[in-house]
């Protein structure tokens, strides 16, 4: 069985979408894959309750308890490795990962970013898209590399930017598409098939 470990820091809505897709799509039978654990750097991450309710083991590693980013990432790597992961999925994990961590999981580390990469890497993507006068925005699932938001693109979804949009309304529209393309991209990645772009 190929294990998927998901990292969250908050509500874990993308994690929940992946868990539901794994259950409904019978990933254990069809893909020989399962969500083996959900880890968080915050004990108050709401997504932990969802994972527990679905019988998924959870673990909290408080980054504030470590002297350095490197120390935290080393401990996190050890915890993840305990689940022998075939895939590590970042789902709203609000930490910048060290190069050593990224290198350790190279080729099996995925993230979803709320823009149409390569446009608007980093933070405040929705406001930046609005300020730039973009007619379209969206989300991107990509492999994680040492360079922020620059890994190979696995899937994208496009949404319109409305004339009256503010960052929050655009973010909500994009998040709906994240919940669709992230589980699809994870499943396609596990089958090693190309993921075609989906327009929303």
Hey, what domains does the chain have and what are their CATH numbers? 1-105 (3.40.50.170), 111-140+155-200 (3.40.50.170)
Mean per-residue pLDDT, 107-117:
97
pLDDT at residue number 150: 87
Dihedral sign of CA atoms 142, 94, 136, 145 in order: negative
CA distances (Å), 146 to each of 16, 49, 74, 97, 104, in order? 26, 31, 16, 8, 11
Beta-carbon contacts of residue 165 (< 8 Å; ≥ 6 apart): 130
Mean per-residue pLDDT, 191-196:
55
pLDDT averaged over every residue in the chain: 94
Given pLDDT bands bounded at 50, 70 and 90, which one contains residue 138?
very high
Mean per-residue pLDDT, 136-150:
94
CB 186 within 8 A of CB 4: yes
Q: For the chain, state the CA radius of gyration.
A: 16
Containing 52, the helix (H) or strand (E) segment is helix 47-53
CA gap 81, 73 in Å, rounded: 12
Given pLDDT bands bounded at 50, 70 and 90, which one contains residue 197?
very low
pLDDT at residue number 83: 98
Mean per-residue pLDDT, 121-143:
97
Of 19-33, 150-164, 183-197, the one with minimum mean pLDDT is 183-197
CA gap 193, 52 in Å, rounded: 31
Q: Is the pLDDT of residue 194 over 60?
A: no
Q: Is the pLDDT of residue 80 over 80?
A: yes
Given pLDDT bands bounded at 50, 70 and 90, which one contains residue 148?
confident
pLDDT at residue number 195: 39
pLDDT at residue number 106: 95
Residue % of the chain over a pLDDT of 90: 92
Tell me if residue 167 falls in helix, strand or coil.
Answer: helix
Residues classed as catalytic: 113
- Compute CA 158 distance to the chain's CA centroid, rounded to the nearest angstrom: 17
């Amino acid at each position: 069985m190929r294990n998927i470990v998901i990292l969250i820091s908050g509500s874990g809505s993308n994690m929940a979408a992946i868990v539901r897709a794994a259950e409904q799509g019978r990933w254990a039978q069809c893909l020989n894959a399962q969500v083996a654990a959900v880890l968080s750097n915050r004990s108050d991450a709401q997504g932990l309750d969802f994972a527990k309710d679905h019988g998924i083991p959870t673990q909290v590693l408080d980054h504030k308890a470590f002297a350095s980013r490197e120390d935290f990432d080393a401990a996190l790597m050890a915890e993840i490795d305990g689940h022998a992961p075939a895939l590590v999925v970042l789902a709203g994990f609000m930490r910048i990962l060290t190069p050593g961590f990224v290198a350790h999981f190279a080729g099996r580390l995925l993230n979803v970013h709320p823009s149409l990469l390569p446009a608007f890497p980093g933070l405040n993507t929705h406001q930046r898209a609005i300020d730039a006068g973009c007619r379209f925005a969206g989300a991107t699932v990509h492999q994680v590399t040492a360079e922020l938001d620059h890994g190979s693109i696995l899937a994208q979804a496009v949404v319109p930017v409305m004339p009256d949009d503010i960052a929050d309304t655009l973010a909500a529209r994009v998040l709906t598409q994240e919940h669709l393309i992230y589980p699809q991209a994870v499943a396609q990645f596990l089958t090693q098939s190309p993921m075609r772009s989906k327009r929303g």
